[in-house]
Structures are given as structure tokens and as C-alpha cells.
Amino acid sequence: MDNKELYETVDIRARQWLGDEYDETTRKQVRSMLEGSKNELVDAFYRNLEFGTGGLRGIMGAGTNRMNVYTVSMATQGLANYLLRQFSHLDSVRVAIAYDNRNNSKLFAETAANIFTANDIDVYLFDDMRPTPELSFAVRHLHCQSGLVITASHNPKEYNGYKVYWEDGGQIIAPHDINIIAEVQKITNISQVKRDANPGRLKMIGEEIDLGYLARVQKMSMSSDVEEKKKDLKIVFTPIHGSTVNMIPRALKMFGFEDIVRVPEQDNTDGDFPTVESPNPEEAAALAMALEKGEQTGADLVMGTDPDGDRVGIAVRDTDNRFILLNGNQIASVLLYYVLERWKDVFGLKGNEYIVKTIVTTELLSEIASKFQVECHDVLTGFKYIAGLIRMNEGTKKFIAGFEESYGYLVGDFVRDKDAVLSCALIAEAASWAKDRGMTLFEMLVELYREFGFYKESMISIVKKGKSGADEIEAMMERFRNSSPGTINGSRVMQVNDYLKQKSFDTLSELRKDIDLPKANVLQFFLQDKTTISIRPSGTEPKIKFYIGVSGKLERKEDYQTVNNDLLKKIDNIIKDLDVK
């Protein structure tokens, strides 16, 4: 539609929000937008906030395209309708609900809880904020049919979200994701929502679930023989204002770590995240205060998590005793090596074990797994696909660990989503184990590069906000899809994988074959020099992401910096050749 038609449609939709069924604060915000900027009004009302394959995520505020009690209510009614139909054979349907520290998270969680109970669904609601992995645990522990976390993960403070889980503790996947979307889309007006809460169906949960979850975390400890090194390891930890403020220090102490240094300013669970621009441990700025504390205290290890406690970033000391940040692929690599090395001694490897990584995560993981004769499976980006594979293989194969390059890791299967609580404890244990062998985690990483090859990855995100941004991202994907480059940085493109078309094209033989993974708007280019390039729009943010992986040989550890610089230069040249802005 043209701009005039768009403005007319948006105006009509906005004025519907001036009715008595909306609270006065909401009506005031809508009136202000109607009288003000057309762009703000369009962004707030040009569409319904999309209930995607994982749930909702968006900027908070009034409007159909915003996170607010009305969009949350309508999504919850759609989900409730689906659950009641799907589990009609049960005497009762159960849902567990958790939330993080974001502004309005508690309000949205309570709103959803009330609507579920109004639909005669039993609700277990946490009494305070909890990390996402604990919700995943609670779904299974309490024999729930579904779960819900109110969080926008690592997004900036303006955002919030609504993340849905199934009875296995994993985020929803096919066919339930599509079916739930269809039910949510049927709820077109707030009047369709049942809002007369039934308090008798609501049960508050808290410490009893904490203890059950932490007991399972503690069972994953694999190095009781380095207790003294654990006591000596000085760790700086920051929750970056988030929900792990108590849980991770408790887990670390249960593992035997005593010297835990806090960042008091970031222990404040403020949804405005006052000390950072963005509470994302993938970004160096988010860990700046923790790094400063690490230098002041002479710490060995710095760790920080995102608000809902499913991602962790770390800093380690290099050979010059300076702190450096490891990226998500590097953390995954040292964690996997430690876990497999210890797993074979503590739990034993029987030949039916496997790990899972996403298609954009480093190939170094598959090399490490191969050494231990452990299968490595690739899935689409999104931890829900890792959880789906765990469920599919349950009872036949043994899941050890799963990894996303975006700082998400899971060891063991009692949780079915990435788990920063357990990851922090195991990363610290890996550091103690390495220290007992006269190494730092950084030196351990260099040894992995020397043994398996120097794998270097980089990811660039291009932010395109609003409707116009979404159009630009779509156009960019179409350009790469319909006009695939023949060479990139002088290296021939040998294979193109298009996960939307579910086809893989070999440029030498010109043969096409099917890709046995779900449809996704992802493109991958495999080059003659073993470079891999993956392109995908983010499913949760207004971004398009480019993942670049290169590799080389590291003959001697003394050559680390030289090889590292060469690979960084190669990545820079690839980015220039892609010509994306």
C-alpha cells in the first residue's frame, strides 16, 4: 500500500485503542502519537506484533506492534486456547512462568498468569525473577505442558519479550510453533481475552525449585580432584543487573569456588541497566566494569551474564597477563574440550554420545568431538533446534553438550535451553583444571588451535529499524539469494546452501540436493579456501547478521599473534568484498 493508504489504516487502528477497554495511560500515549510524529505512529500500529516461532519480542509501549499488557494478553489467550485443545485428554493443563528484571517483566508475567487461570489452566509462577534455564528445568520438574519466560534476553532496555516452552522444557518447534501462531492470530481484539482470574489455580514457587535445579547443576561437576585450585581461583562475576545475581554465586560456591568478587553497581537489578548501554555479554562495553574490577583485584577470570541468564561472556588472562575477551566460539571450544576430557574419565564414553552445534558455530567443535569419537550434529540457528534433537534422540543416544556461537552453551540434558548458570560453574572448573596443569584457559585455547587448526570467526550485525529497515533487510537477502557471488575475496564459491529453499547447490558439478533441515531464511557460502559465510536476518532484533569463518595452521604457539593477525586481515577483506552497510 502507498503512504496515504498506510497512514489511513494506521490511524484507524490507533483510534481503536482510545476505547474504554484500554487504560488511561495507554490512551494518553496513543493520543500523543496521533497528534505527533507519523513515523512513531506507523511503527507502533503498522502491524500486529508478530508472534514468531519462539513468541513475542519488541519495544515496550502502546500499540499493536509493541510489547504491552494488551498484546501479551492476546498472545496468552491464543496460547491458552491451543494448550486446552492439545491436552484435552488431561484432567488439568499446567504452565510454569518465570520473568527477568526488565521493566514490566513482572507485570507481564502476572498478566499472563491471570489469563491462564481464567482459562482454567494451573499456573506455577515464580515469586521473583529467575534465570531462563531454571524455567526450562521447572517445566520438566513440575510436569508442566508448557512454560513461559518474560524476557528480551540481551536486547536494550526498551525491549521486552514472551518466550514459550513446550512440555520437554525446550522452546516451541514445529508443529506447535506454527499451530500456536495460528491460534494467536485468531485473537484480534482484547474483548476475546478471558480476564477473570481464578486465584485457586495459581501457585507461587521459589526456593524449592532453586534447590532442585542447583542440585542437578552440582551433579555436573567433573573435577573434584582440583579442590585446592578452585579455592585459589579468583573470579569476578557480574549479572549485568540481571536475574543471575544470586543463582550463579550460589552455583559457584557449590562447585567449591570461594574467592568470588562482585561488581556492586551491577548487582542492582534495575531494568534500565544504568551502567551499560546494552546488557549484552557479547559486547565488550557490557563487561567493562567487571574487567576493571578484575584488574584491581588481580582476578584470574571475569564472567558476565545477560539479564535472563542464558548467555555468558568471559575474559581470561593472555600470555602477557592481560585480560582479553574470548568470543562465543572460543568459549565453546575450551568448554567442550574440558567437558569431553573429563566426561570420559568421570562418566565414561560408551560410543553413543553426541554434541550439537548450530550451522554458524565454529567447525573447531566438530574437530574436537571427532578426537573423542563423539558425534557432532548441525542444526539451524536457535537453541530450540538443539532441544528438539535432544528430544528426538532421547532413550537412544546420550547428549553431552550443545553450543551457539552467540554465547549460549548447555551441558547435560536436565535443562533444554542454553544455561549460563551451569556454564559459569563449568567454565570456572575448566580454568581450575587447566591451572592444575600449569595452563590458563587462554593457553589451553592456543593448544587447541595448534592441534586442530586455527579457526577464526567474526560476526557483523547491521541494524535496520522500523518498517523501512525490515524492507531493506529483505532486499539485501534477495540480492544475495538471486545474485550469488562467484568469488569472494579471490576465492571461488564452491557451494551455496539456501535454507529457505532447502537446497544445496554445488557450483562445480551444478548439482542440487535437498537440505534435511527446517526452512529458514539463511544463506551459506562455502569457499575453496575453506572459508564459510552465513547470512541471516535476526529473528528477535531488527538486524541482519553476517557470520564469517576462516582457518589456518598454527605450527608453534609462539606464532599465535602472527596467524591471528593474518586471519583478521582476511576477514576484513571478505567484509569489504561483500559490500554491505
Alpha carbon 400 to its chain centroid, in Å, reads: 19
Site of grid cell 499451530 = 179
Spatial separation of the C-alpha atoms in residues 288 and 424, rounded to whole Å: 18
Cα pseudo-dihedral 67, 68, 73, 74, rounded to 10:
-50
Cell (9 digits) for 108: 507481564
DSSP string, 339-389: HHHHHHHHT---S-EEEEEETTS-THHHHHHHHTT-EEEEE-SSHHHHHHH
Active-site residue, selected from the candidate residues 105, 136, 153, 423: 153
Listed in sequence order, the residues at least 6 apart from 129 whose beta carbon sits closer than 8 Å to its beta carbon are 98, 99, 100, 101, 105, 106, 243, 269
Cell (9 digits) for 290: 567487571
Please answer whether residues 538 and 523 qualify as being in contact, where contact means their C-beta atoms are separated by less than 8 angstroms: no
3-class SS at 512? strand
3-class SS at 247? helix
Q: How many CB atoms lie within 10 A of CB 559?
A: 17
Question: Which contiguous run of DSSP H or E holds residue 54?
Answer: none
3-class SS at 149? strand
Please answer whether residues 417 and 310 qualify as being in contact, where contact means their C-beta atoms are separated by less than 8 angstroms: yes
Please answer whether residues 113 and 125 qualify as being in contact, where contact means their C-beta atoms are separated by less than 8 angstroms: yes
Alpha helices in 255-287 (DSSP H): none
136 carries an active-site annotation: no
Cell (9 digits) for 361: 558455530
Cell (9 digits) for 313: 561472556
Spatial separation of the C-alpha atoms in residues 153 and 286, rounded to whole Å: 14
Cell (9 digits) for 345: 574419565
Q: Which residues are catalytic?
A: 153
